[in-house]
Structure 1
Amino acid sequence: MSIRRQPLITGQMYHIYNCGVDKRDIFADKNDIYRFIESIKEFNREDKINSLANLRKSKQNPQIEVSPLSGMDSKEPLVEIIGYCLNPNHFHLILKQSVDSGISKFMQKLLGGYTYYFNSKNTRSGSLFQGLFKSQLIVNENYFNKLIGYVNKNYLVHSIPENKNDLVFSGDFEYENSKFNIISKKEGENILEVFG
């Protein structure tokens, strides 16, 4: 695993992005999108959950014990999610690091878990993503104000073929409806206050 030259700073926001190796699609159908979204939600914790399948079972039947490290009692998320866009061959996230090494831990779980799922589903092996995720520190308010629109509306920047429009998922819809599911409710409401 590659080591990051510049450590990510707790309390700071970052633009995080990556694409499929050779710019290949990382989402082939809606199930892939749903699995990635579920991973975003469930891997945003310090504790291990072992597998999403076991976690799903434990939520459906509380008598099933997954593991003492299931993460269901985790008090603090690794990151606050402020914006996102999932496109067929790449993704963008705006993350605020909540705990030391939070972004790195979250991304390792997210990309490792999703790659395992995708490779198993498609009988393939090897890397799915183009190396270590990219990160850009959000250095000031002006940059953030431009970036939040760029990330949440990133699907409009690209010429996504009509037959792949259902492979796009964005925080744009959460902000438009003021209903936060993936985006941190506290962070989302703060942004709506600023942008009205």
Structure 2
Amino acid sequence: MSRAPRISLEGLVYHVINRGNNRQDVFRDEEDFDTYLKTIIRFKKKYSFKLYGYCLMKNHTHLLLEPVKPGTLSKIIQSITLSHIRLYHSKYKSSGHLWQGRFKNPIIQTDEYLLQCLKYIELNPVRANIVARPQDYRWSSYKFHAFDKDEYRLLDKDPAYLSLADTDTARQKAYQSFMGLKQDESIVGRIRKSITSDSVLGSDDFVDSLRERLDLATPRPRGRPRRR
């Protein structure tokens, strides 16, 4: 069965989830996490995408990103993944499949849905009982949004985050308060459904507008349809 093509339109934000093959660990130590983030920096310079959030877990990754140029999402993720595979196998003298065959990339509406998705991503280590608070986990974007700390200088501020307040300090406090509230199970369910089905997370109006844009962007065959 052929794979469905990825939707590629200007201005779309994607929640990219990539898992280890058979859910195996893809990061064994802190150096592996560090190397992966430095790899993202390298390809961010090459492809000029915007990175709004991330969380690296031992056996999977979450990236919330917006390609500047339509059609480059697959190139971005494949470049990062292949580079990581080479470095990983070189370090551990290993071989074989490391990541699963196809990453997930649900499209996220850039408003409250984006904030909820960001919250879901940054709470991963808390849900997994690795840490009690998101600020205690090093390998996520939480400290950037809550305290304006970007150790690797690779993050961008998305419009939904910027709309929280008029100043950096007020915005950080608003984000801390937002993250301190329990995430509604219904939105968690919708986010998980968007991941498993690789679909859109957004309002009905957003989905409809996306369908219209996709229809307009799809070339139509010339001439009359062939008679049967």
1:68-113 superposed Cα distances (whole Å, 9 cap, x missing partner): xxxxxxxx60x10001000111110100111122221111110000
**Structure 1, residues 2-24: CA drift from partner, whole Å, max 9, x if none?**
96523322211010011111111
Tell me the equivalent position of 1:11.
11
**How many Å separate the matches in 2 of 1:86 and 1:183?**
14
> Does the 8 Å CA contact 2:110/2:160 hold for their aligned counterparts?
no
Match for residue 149 of structure 2 among 176, 179, 184: 179
For residues 69-148 of structure 1, the aligned pairs below 5 Å read 77=48, 79-139=49-109, 141-148=111-118
Moved over 6 A (4+): none
Q: Contact 1:28–1:167 at 8 Å: present in 2 too? A: no
Deviation at 1:190, TM superposition (A): 6.3
> Is this contact kept in 2: 1:80–1:183, CA < 8 A?
yes
Aligned counterpart, 2:222: none
Q: Distance in 2 between matches of 1:172 and 1:29?
A: 20
Query: Which one has the largest radius of gyration?
Result: 2
Query: CA–CA distance in 2 between the matches of 1:36 and 1:148?
Result: 20
- Percent of paired sites with the same residue: 26
2:41 aligned partner, one-letter code: K
Instruction: Measure, in 2, the Cα distance between the counterparts of 1:151 and 1:131.
Output: 22
Counterpart-to-counterpart distance in 2, 1:4 and 1:172? 33
For residues 23 and 160 of structure 1, do their structure 2 counterparts lie closer, same or farther at Cα, with a shift above 3 Å needed?
farther
Q: Which residue of 2 aligns with 1:160?
A: 130
Change (3 A) 1:189 1:7: closer
TM-score, length-normalised on structure 1?
Answer: 0.72
The 3 A distance-change label for structure 1 pair 81 and 108 is same
Change (3 A) 1:168 1:25: farther
Deviations 1:163-186 (A, max 9, x none): xxx9850000111221342212xx
Counterpart Cα distance in 1 of 2:117 and 2:77: 20
**3-state DSSP of counterpart to 1:148:** helix
Q: Which runs of 5 or more residues in structure 1 are unaligned? A: 47-75
| More divergent stretch after superposition (33-42 vs 102-111) | 102-111
Deviation sequence 1:17-74 (CA, Å, 0-9, x none): 111111111110111011001001011244xxxxxxxxxxxxxxxxxxxxxxxxxxxx
Decide whether the 8 Å contact of 1:175 with 1:192 is kept in 2.
no
Does structure 2 retain, via aligned residues, the 8 Å contact 1:11–1:96? yes
* SS at structure 1 position matched to 2:37: helix
Cα contact 2:50–2:66 (8 A) shared by 1: yes
In structure 2, relative to structure 1, the CA distance for the partners of 1:161 and 1:141 (3 Å cut) is closer
The residue that corresponds to 1:32 in the other structure is 32
Where relative contact order (Cα < 8 A, 6+ residues apart) is larger, the structure is 1
SS where residue 93 of structure 1 aligns? strand
Q: How many aligned residue pairs are there?
A: 160
Higher helix residue share? 2
Taking structure 2 as the reference length, the TM-score comes to 0.63
